[in-house]
Structures are given as structure tokens and as C-alpha cells.
Structure 1
Amino acid sequence: MNVPQSLGYGPQDRLLIVNADDFGLCHSTNVGIQALLQEGVVSSATLMMPCGWAREAALWSARHTQLDVGVHLTLTSEWSALKWGPVYRAGAVDSLVTNEGYFCKDVKAFERRADSVQVHHELKAQVKMALELGVNVTHADNHMGSLYGLQTGRNFLSETFDVCAHYGLPFRLPRNLLLENGQFAPPVLAQQAMKHAEEAGRKGVIVLDYLLGLPFRSDTSESYESMKLQMIGLLKQLHPGVTEIIIHPSLVTDELCAFHEAPLRRGMEMELFRDPDIQATIRSEGIIPIRWRDLRDLQRGIAKV
């Protein structure tokens, strides 16, 4: 499916979604993301339902159903001082947790030990929890890429597509794989990405054309200006089609600093799409902002035909 043309845009139009990940991680992140959503400088956010502050974020989202909020499907728990585990309560989750009962710290451990049936139950439980709290869920994506098979090659995308199809949600998966510098990935990786996108399409799940973001780990010389220049570079290199750019914004507080290894970076990401230079680049490049809601409504409309 050519999604841009199905939405009424031209074949050369560059459509952009900006998503704020990790909504629900902590109160400081919630307050920051809420501000960006209300200001309209991000298109959407995604909720980490297993986290301790997810309920606050979900109830706020239920009061602001005009804003796009999805589910950040979470199966890892990466911080040492702040942990979380499964929300599924109706059966076994032993393959998803450590001896302490929390999710694994890293993706490789999750991929090696997770049972696909238990993964399916947990994914469905996370979406269902958001819906039960009143969230008008617009889409789904994945925390730390744990479902993509990036570390061992063992992915859980089939289970993910089944859950997304069940709830009528588009999913964050790039049809065309790009490297961090915005260039196309090598042919073997590109073919694999296209194969996954085709499976999603067979199950009626709409996916992205491209996915971009700043490198997750920063170097010691990084500044706000260098980060802004990187983002402007990504925006200028957008390809025709639907691109999502992901950011991880937050207020920088004692709460965030108590567990996060790079809190100042999250504070800088909080300001990126507020920046007049970023907004001017979007306008001058003729980039068209769209919403995950547009993709969700298209997917559900097709399913009814």
C-alpha cells in the first residue's frame, strides 16, 4: 500500500510524525511530554504501561482524547534504580522476567529467553490496560526495539502484528531501513525490513516508510547546538513518504537525575522541536506534519471494506 497517496498526498510529498517516547516513565517525563503535546510541537507520545507513572499519564490522556497517544510496548527494564515488570496477571510470565520479577535489563537477554505466547499475552495486556484507563490509543511502538530481533535475530513481530491487527493499530516499523546518518541500509538488512513490512501488510497493519532518531547514546562533547544541527540534518534528508522521528523528552529534575544516566540529554530533547530553527526547517523544506491518528483511521477504514 502507498500510504501517502491513500491519505491524499502526492508521491513526492514528505510526511512527518514526531513522537515522544517513554510517556509514563516518571512524573517529570509526564509533565514535559504533556506540555509538548499541548503546544503541538510533537505529533504524539507513547505510553510505557508497566511503569509506575503510567496511570497518571494514561488518565491525563483520557482527558485529552484529541491528542495522539499510543502504547510503547515495553518488555525490558534498563535502569538499575527504577524497575518494572509485566502487567499481564492471568497466566505465566516467567520467561519475561528475572529472578527479581522485573523485565530483563537488556534486549539480548529478552530475545534469548522470552516465550512467544507469553510475549503475545503481555503485549495484548498492555494495550488493553491503556484502553481500560480511557486512552484513545492511536498506535503502538516498541521500547528499546526488543521485538525486532536486533540482537539475536529472534523477533516477535508476528505476535506484535496480531495484537495491532486485533486492536486496529498501526505500528512503528520502517518499510525502508535507514542508518543513523539517514542513508539506506545495506541490501540484506533492507530486504529483511521489507519482508517484515509485507507481513504487517498481509495482517492489515499499516507501518512507516522510514524511522529516524538521534543516536540513543551521546558522547561527552554533545551540546544542544550539536544536537540541533543533527536534527536539522535529518529533516533536510527526509525521503518522500511517511517518516517518524522519535525523541525522548523530559523535564530535568531530581527525580529524573536519581535514576537516569543522561538526564541533561533528555532536557535538550525537550527543547528541540520548540526551537524556531527546527520549526523553520520543517516549513522551508515543505515537510508536511501528519498524525498517527491519520494512519489508524486509514487502517480501520480499509479493514471495514
Structure 2
Amino acid sequence: MEINPVLKDMGFSATDKVMVIHADDVGITQSSIDAFQELLEFGTISSGSAMVPAPWFPEAAKLFRENPDIDLGLHFVLNCEYESYRWRPVSTMSKESGFVDENGYFKQDKQEVSQTANPSFVTEEIDAQLQVARNLGMKPTHVDTHCGILWAPDYMDAYANFYKKHGILPVLFNIDPDNIDPAIQGAIQAFNMSTEKIAAFAEQKLPMVDSITGLPVEHTHDVDDRLQLAKQILDNVKPGKLTHFAFHPLKDTPESHGLQRYSGGRIGDYEVFMRKELKNHLKEKGIQLVGYKDIIRYM
């Protein structure tokens, strides 16, 4: 069985099941920061990424300054999918950017942004988001992409080159043409991804995950059903491969419900991963957690 070279360098074997369990959207609400911290302490996640344009980002940066050993990256934002909860770009309010609406907010629809955003403005915006994070004392362990927009061909170079430019690892994934993960296949279709570009990044020896999975944010489910779905996903983790599991935990607060979109699923994410049953399931299945801070040491 072929092993992911990153895992081999880290000392894992082809029979080890290894995951990055990753909290997206840290800073979207105050409760997202509490949820991230509590889940780290509970031991059911290993990493997360924060949204610079979101209003609670300074608090997320403060958490990092006070806990510099945590694995916290940046979740690059180029859209804002909420109708009445909005945020703006860091670098510009120009409509020429292609990702700003008539009021200076990020556009809502990710598909529209992936087709209209000007690549040079995209590069400036993600660089500006990094600069804000650094100004607030944060040293991101990695970067990833909100709603997958930076996987679109026109923006993937700016994203993938982040390591060369800034020394920060972008989350990228392998494509095995004989065994494409369904979640990755969905991303390829949604953003017309360039498999040639991904192959070129692999040749540059950039660390890549083999599978991207997670709990569906758009579906609430009963919490017990959500737990069973999480366990089912964990049961299918492949040995010798590096799996990135993304989800969006929030604590149950009035502010969380105020999002008025996907709140139930996000609160369910937190409640599921705070259950001892889920923690025991990880142990029973022999799943070992790593973060991007661990991975970057072997670059």
C-alpha cells in the first residue's frame, strides 16, 4: 500500500490512519472561538482556520497570541454568503475587484465570485488578509479557502504560491485519477479545477492531503443522527492517506442563531465533537490526529 510521503516523513506507516480534524470559520462569531478552543482542549480536533474580515477575528488573533502553540491558520475569504450578516474586503471596496457588491461588501454567491473576481485583486486581498493577521500578532500555521473559491483555475496559482511567497503552507490535495474522493470530485466540478495545475504542485513536493471530507454545514440533522454520520465518515478513513476533515463548530448562543443560515448544523458540529462517544470512537478506530503545524516541520 502506497503511503502519503508527508506521513512517511513524519514516521507513520502505511497502516496508520491519520487525520487533520479542522474547524473552519473561526471568528465568524464569538462562539466559534470558544468552540474551537474547547474542542482543542477536549482532544477531538487538531487544527482550525480564522477569517480575517469577520468581526471577531481580533479575538481569534488574541487567542493565538495567548496560546502560540495552537494550530490556527487563515481561512481566506472572498465572499460572504449571508443575507444580513456581511463583511467587507480588507484591501479594497472597488467593484473592479469582481468580488465586491454595490455597497462594498463581499458578494454572496461563491460561484459568481469564482467567475468574476479579478486575479490581481484576489492576490492583493489574500496578501492583505495575511498582513492584518500578522499586525495582530498571529503567525498562521497554514492557509485554506472559504467556499473553495481559491481552487478555481484563475486563482489557484496565487494560493499555491503562498508557501514560496510567504513560507506558509496552503492546504492542497492530491488527485488520484483511479480513485477520486467524492468531495474532491465535487470541488473539481464546482470550480472547473485544473488537474494539470494540481499535478504541477505535486511535482513541487508541496505537502498534499489525499482526501477532503467533513460534516455538511447546509444540513442540520438531529444531533444523534449527526453523530452517526460523523462516525460513519471516520469509519471510512483510509490507512496510509492523509485526510482533511473540515467542519464548522459553534456553541449554542443567541449570536450563533442570529446567523439565520446553517446555525443548526454548526451548533450540531460542536455538540457532536464534544461527546465522549465521538472521542472514544476516534480511539477505537485507531485514528491519529495531526495539525498543519506538525506537517510544516517536515517541509
The question of a shared fold, defined as TM-score above 0.5 by the shorter chain, is answered with yes
Q: SS of the counterpart of 1:96?
A: coil
Measured after TM superposition, the shift of residue 72 of structure 1 is 0.2
Query: Residue in 2 aligned with 1:85?
Result: 88
Q: SS of the counterpart of 2:89?
A: coil
Measured after TM superposition, the shift of residue 63 of structure 1 is 1.1
Measured after TM superposition, the shift of residue 199 of structure 1 is 2.7
> Match of 1:42, as an amino acid?
I
Maintained 8 Å contact 1:165/1:205 = no
Residues of 2 paired with 1:104 and 1:7: CA distance? 41
Maintained 8 Å contact 2:93/2:105 = no
Q: SS of the counterpart of 1:147?
A: helix
Residues of 2 paired with 1:53 and 1:281: CA distance? 32
Q: SS of the counterpart of 1:238?
A: coil
Query: Residue in 2 aligned with 1:201?
Result: 202
Structure 1 residues 235 and 155, CA, compared in 2 at 3 Å: closer, same or farther?
farther
Tell me the number of residue pairs that the alignment of Structure 1 and Structure 2 aligns: 288
Structure 1 residues 148 and 107, CA, compared in 2 at 3 Å: closer, same or farther?
same
Q: How does 1:134-213 map to 2 (within 5 A)?
A: 134-149=137-152, 154-176=153-175, 177-180=180-183, 185=185, 195-203=196-204, 205-213=206-214
Measured after TM superposition, the shift of residue 6 of structure 1 is 1.2
Q: SS of the counterpart of 1:232?
A: helix
Residues of 2 paired with 1:102 and 1:22: CA distance? 18
> Match of 2:229, as an amino acid?
Q
Query: Residue in 2 aligned with 1:264?
Result: 264
Measured after TM superposition, the shift of residue 214 of structure 1 is 1.7
Q: SS of the counterpart of 1:137?
A: coil
Query: Residue in 1 aligned with 2:78?
Result: 75
Q: TM-score, normalised by structure 1?
A: 0.86
Residues of 2 paired with 1:87 and 1:38: CA distance? 31
Measured after TM superposition, the shift of residue 117 of structure 1 is 0.9
Cα deviation 1:259-286 (Å, max 9, x = unaligned):
2323222111002222222222221222
> Match of 1:125, as an amino acid?
A
Measured after TM superposition, the shift of residue 290 of structure 1 is 1.1
Query: Residue in 1 aligned with 2:59?
Result: 56
Cα deviation 1:115-154 (Å, max 9, x = unaligned):
11111111111122212211131111111111123xxxx4
> Match of 1:95, as an amino acid?
G
Residues of 1 paired with 2:274 and 2:195: CA distance? 33
Identity rate, percent: 23
Matched, 1:16 2:19: yes
Q: TM-score, normalised by structure 2?
A: 0.88
Measured after TM superposition, the shift of residue 10 of structure 1 is 1.1
> Match of 2:73, as an amino acid?
G
Maintained 8 Å contact 1:175/1:194 = no
Maintained 8 Å contact 1:123/1:163 = no
Query: Residue in 2 aligned with 1:214?
Result: 215
Q: Which runs of 5+ in 1 are unaligned?
A: 300-305
